[in-house]
Structure 1
């Protein structure tokens, strides 16, 4: 359920209609509610596709998780590796 005050604020500050603002808020909240394991797997695949090596990827994912708006637990590179490969 979307917070009505947040939707009103987004509509007011962006010029979007209330229904458009609600869709934006829902999309942003869905983006940040992605489980850590899903985020790690998705980012690993994207970075690998972009040609990055695992040694760089693991550290990068750990750093990205620290900066997420919705805090993820602190993970070591080994924990990231285990999420990716089991």
Structure 2
């Protein structure tokens, strides 16, 4: 598996970004994918509510997003998602 330095070099070479900028981009992407599922669910729920969406639409959308994450989160039911958000 490539190390972070290898990824930074590849991003810099393929995009023409300076190495410092490429490193910040890679760090940002890695931070996004390192976000624990519970934190991602809470954050995404807040974002979707701010858009005016309601829970019957939000929870299936979040469940689908979790299935598509690069590092797959566990399969969570709507009930489990609600418990993460509301306790």
TM-score by length of 2: 0.92
2:67 aligned partner: 66
Task: List alignment gaps of at least 5 residues for structure 1.
Answer: none
For residue 4 of structure 2, what is the aligned residue in structure 1? 3
Q: Measure, in 2, the Cα distance between the counterparts of 1:23 and 1:50.
A: 28
- What is the alpha-carbon distance in structure 2 between the residues aligned to residue 74 and residue 44 of structure 1? 17
Deviation at 1:83, TM superposition (A): 0.2
CA-atom RMSD in angstroms:
1.0
| Equivalences for residues 67-82 of structure 1 within 5 A | 67-82=68-83
Structure 1 residue ranges, 4+ long, deviating more than 6 angstroms after superposition: none
With normalisation by structure 1, the TM-score equals 0.93
1:56 is matched with: 57
Number of residue pairs matched by the alignment:
85
Output aligned runs, 1:28-67, within 5 Å. Answer: 28-67=29-68
Matched residue, 1:83: 84
